[in-house]
Structure 1
C-alpha cells in the first residue's frame, strides 16, 4: 500500500490479487463505490486512487465516468495495477506526486490500517483536491474490526469482546488466521477518534457524511442479514472548501 517507510506489500501482489479480487469486484458490482463517488463531471473527471494497490477498484471507478490515476508506494502492487489502468504513479500517500488543486476527486479504500500517518495522508489528499472537490474513503470500521476484537460469539449469542489493544496504534501483526493479510504485512489500528479526527483536522476540508456498512458493503442495520451485531465497514466523504 502507500505511505510507509518501506513497501510492506512488496512480494505479496500476486497473492493479494488472488485473495481479494472478488472483494474488489463486489465493491463495484454492489454499487457502493458508484453510490459514494457519484457520476463524474465530464469536464473534470480525474479521480486519484490513493493506495490503489493492484488496481482492484479501477474498473468500478471508470464505470462512473472517471479517469483513474492510481498511486501506491509498492512497486510490486503497481506491477499488477498497470494491467488494469493506464495511469499509475509510485508515491507516498503523505507526499503525493501531484500538484496542489489538481484533482476533482480522491478515493482511498481500506488504507487507514496501512499508512504510517493517516492524518497526514488525509491532509495531503485535501491539498491535491480542487476547491469543491471530494474525498471518499471506504474501509474497515476502526472500532469493531482488528486483532483487538474477539468475534467468537457474535453470530451465536450476539457477543463481541473488545480488548485493551483497541488503543494501541502501533504496527502489529495478527497471526490468528482471521485476517491473512495482517499476518503478512501487519496493521495499525486507529481509534475512532483518531480516524475521524483525520478528516476534521485539515482547515480546508469539511466532513460531509459518515456511513456504517455491513460485511457486504451495504448500509448496516441492527438486524442486518449478514448476522453481525455491529458494522464491519465505514464510509466517509469530505469536501474541500471553495474558499481559501
Structure 2
C-alpha cells in the first residue's frame, strides 16, 4: 500500500480544520448536497475522509458513514466518529461494484497521487442512480501559484509561475500549511473536470463556485475576494 503523507499530522490537521465540521462549514453544505439517504440503504462512503470532520453532519442527514483513507493516523481519529473506517488507497477501494448509493469526496484532489483513477474507482463502487458529491478547493484559483493573502485589500490577483505543474510540491514559505507539511498537487481545472467527464457511467448534475465560507460566490463577496475559493460538484451514476 502507498505511503500516507498525512501520517504524523492527524492531531494538527484535526485542530487546524475543525471548523470544517460545523453546520456553517463544508460539512453542512456536504450534507445538504447529499440529500436524504436511499430508502433501502443509508450507507454513504466518504473517500479520503481524513479525521472524519464531515461525519456528524452527514450522519445527521440520516446516512450511515463509512470512512476510507490511506492514513492510519487520520483514521485513528476518524474511528471515534463513525462505526466503520477502512484503510485503503482511493485507487483500489475494497468494495464490489455498485455497492454504495452515496459517495462523497472532500478536499482530496490535491492529496491523491492519481485523481482521475480515484474518481474512476468511486464511480465503480457507486450504485446505478447513486449520488456523488465533491467539495474542494477551486483548481484555477487556489494553489501555491496564486498568493491571495492581500487580495481583499488590493482587489487584484498576483499570479506566480506554477499553474499546470501537477507534480507533488511543497510550499517552503508556510503560506499554505498543508502544502508545507505534506505537499500537494495543483491540478488544472481541465484535469479536475475531465476526471469526472471521462466517466461514461456518470452524469454531472451541478457545479457551484463558492467563497471562503462555502456559500455561492458572488462578484463582490463579503470578504472582498474577487474570484472564488472553493467549488462543489454533484453527479449521478447512470441507471
TM-score relative to the length of structure 1? 0.94
CA RMSD of aligned residues (A): 1.5
**Are residues 1:51 and 2:48 paired?**
yes
Distance (Å, rounded) in 1 between the aligned partners of 2:178 and 2:22: 18
Q: Is the 8 A contact 1:152 1:159 kept in 2?
A: no
**Are residues 1:134 and 2:104 paired?**
no
**Are residues 1:175 and 2:165 paired?**
no
State the match for 2:28 in structure 1. Answer: 31
State the match for 1:147 in structure 2. Answer: 144
Count of matched residue positions in the alignment of Structure 1 and Structure 2: 239
Shift of 1:30: 7.1
Q: Is the 8 A contact 1:9 1:74 kept in 2?
A: yes
Range moving further from structure 2, 229-238 or 37-46? 37-46
Q: How does 1:89-128 map to 2 (within 5 A)?
A: 89-128=86-125
- Compared CA separation, residues 86 and 28, structure 1 to 2 (3 A): farther
Instruction: Give the counterpart of 1:17 among 14, 18, 27.
Output: 14
Shift of 1:151: 1.9
Shift of 1:80: 0.6
Q: Is the 8 A contact 1:29 1:60 kept in 2?
A: no
State the match for 1:201 in structure 2. Answer: 198
Secondary structure of the corresponding residue to residue 33 of structure 2: helix
Q: Is the 8 A contact 2:152 2:225 kept in 1?
A: yes
Q: How does 1:192-231 map to 2 (within 5 A)?
A: 192-231=189-228
Shift of 1:39: 1.4
Unaligned runs of 5+ in 1: none
Runs of 4 or more above 6 Å deviation: none
Q: Is the 8 A contact 1:126 1:205 kept in 2?
A: yes
Q: Is the 8 A contact 2:25 2:213 kept in 1?
A: no
TM-score relative to the length of structure 2? 0.96
Range moving further from structure 2, 6-15 or 161-170? 161-170
Shift of 1:168: 0.2
Distance (Å, rounded) in 1 between the aligned partners of 2:211 and 2:170: 24
**Are residues 1:67 and 2:70 paired?**
no
Q: Is the 8 A contact 2:27 2:58 kept in 1?
A: no
Q: Is the 8 A contact 1:155 1:228 kept in 2?
A: yes
Distance (Å, rounded) in 1 between the aligned partners of 2:150 and 2:74: 36
Unaligned runs of 5+ in 2: none
Q: Is the 8 A contact 2:128 2:238 kept in 1?
A: yes
